[in-house]
């Protein structure tokens, strides 16, 4: 099914019954990648899946986008479906969108699950060139070497949805720039939602240190590392992942949505959304300035200590 959301035709589907859970997929990838594991969740959750604008089966005019716009699309889809609030489960780039959704529309988010993702910006960690060079092929980017060696047929099956519903070229460009100017480091303390930060212990795409930044800076956050799993830990170790999620939710009990933003922040949201990329670039510049200033502050501190 498709829904007209903020000028884009978003492909979406619903599976299961229970508490609503919005699943947000990654860079240019369709939500079909979630289908192998959905049977583990359908008995407990009303799973809402969709393809981001510029990717998968969604349709729209060629245009740049931003995390702010992608987050507004997620909120708009919930409006279209009549879902007031949901647990939000974002993977990889979907975790970036989920962070922005929790910041801009806190009243739509109950529990926040951030998987294999990053706060972005120059203060976040990136894989080294040597690490990326060592990863050849999509399978090596997504799955641990042990899993690829142990279950090659399963890896091939799991890779099929990643190669289905290829994005248009303009969608790749749009998602690229949205990720480049994603930077939530200075705003993570404003996230109201209880948060489970999940990461594969052998993730070669997104360094584990990014998960630690998220867990340390989000006020009510818990870090769960899936030992030995790669970037696509949700697919590589589906039972262990579900167990960590449901255990966390069971321990939390009922989670109420956040308080809506008020005042200027709420009134100006549509404007800042349209200016998402320039504002993201400014935030990235501010992070660079802070990063450049740290050695100077350390030297001054050392001089003061010696003097």
For the chain, what are the domain ranges? 2-306
pLDDT of residue 129 exceeding 80, the answer is: no
pLDDT of residue 294 exceeding 90, the answer is: no
- How confident is the model over 48-69, as a mean pLDDT? 95
pLDDT of residue 303 exceeding 80, the answer is: no
DSSP letter string over the chain? -EEEETTEEEEEEEES-SEEEEEE--TT--GGGGTTTGGGTTTTEEEEEEPPTTSTT-B--S----HHHHHHHHHHHHHHHT---EEEEEETHHHHHHHHHHHH-GGGEEEEEEES---BSTTS----HHHHHH--SHHHHHS-HHHHHH-HHHHHHHHHHHHSSPPPHHHHHHHHHHHHT-B-GGGGGG--S-EEEEEETT-SSS-HHHHHHHHHHSTTEEEEEETT--TTHHHHSHHHHHHHHHHHHHHH-S-PPPPPP-HHHHHTHHHHHHTHHHHHHHHHHHHHHHHHHHHHHHHHHHHHHH-
**Domain at 2-306: CATH architecture:** 3-Layer(aba) Sandwich (3.40)
Residue 305 pLDDT = 43
- How confident is the model over 20-47, as a mean pLDDT? 97
Local confidence band at 291 (pLDDT 50, 70, 90 cut-offs): confident
Minimum mean pLDDT range among 41-50, 158-167, 292-301: 292-301
**Residue 266 phi, psi (nearest 5):** -75, -45
Residue 132 pLDDT = 42
Residue 60 pLDDT = 87
Residue 80 pLDDT = 98
pLDDT of residue 135 exceeding 70, the answer is: no
pLDDT of residue 297 exceeding 50, the answer is: no
pLDDT of residue 279 exceeding 90, the answer is: yes
Local confidence band at 124 (pLDDT 50, 70, 90 cut-offs): confident
Residue 127 pLDDT = 61
pLDDT, one tens digit per residue, over 172-185 is: 999 999 999 999 99
**Average pLDDT of every residue of the chain:** 91
């Amino acid at each position: 099914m498709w829904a007209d959301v903020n000028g884009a035709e978003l492909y979406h589907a619903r599976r299961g019954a229970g508490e609503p859970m919005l699943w947000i997929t990654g860079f240019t990838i369709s939500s079909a990648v979630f289908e192998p594991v959905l049977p583990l969740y359908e008995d407990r959750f009303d799973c809402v899946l969709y393809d981001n604008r510029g990717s998968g089966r969604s349709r729209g005019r060629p245009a740049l986008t931003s995390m702010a716009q992608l987050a507004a699309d997620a909120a708009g889809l919930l409006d279209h479906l009549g879902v007031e609030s949901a647990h939000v489960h974002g993977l990889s780039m979907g975790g970036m969108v989920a962070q922005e959704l929790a910041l801009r529309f806190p009243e739509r988010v109950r529990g926040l699950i951030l998987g294999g993702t990053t706060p972005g910006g120059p203060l976040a960690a990136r894989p080294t060139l040597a690490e990326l060079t060592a990863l050849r092929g999509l399978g090596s980017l997504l799955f641990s070497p042990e899993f690829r060696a142990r279950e090659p047929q399963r890896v091939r099956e799991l890779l099929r949805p990643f190669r289905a519903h290829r994005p248009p070229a303009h969608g790749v460009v749009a998602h690229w720039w949205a990720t480049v100017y994603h930077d939530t480091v200075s705003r993570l303390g404003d996230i109201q939602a209880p948060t489970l930060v999940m990461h594969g212990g052998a993730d070669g795409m997104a360094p584990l240190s990014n998960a630690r930044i998220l867990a340390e800076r989000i006020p009510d956050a818990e870090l769960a590392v899936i030992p030995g799993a790669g970037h696509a830990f949700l697919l590589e170790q589906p039972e262990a992942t579900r167990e960590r999620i449901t255990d966390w939710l069971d321990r939390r009990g009922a989670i109420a949505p956040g308080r809506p933003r008020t005042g200027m922040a709420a009134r100006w949201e549509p404007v800042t959304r349209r200016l998402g990329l320039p504002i993201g670039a400014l935030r990235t510049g501010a992070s660079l300035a802070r990063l450049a200033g740290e050695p100077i502050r350390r030297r001054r501190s050392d001089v003061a200590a010696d003097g």
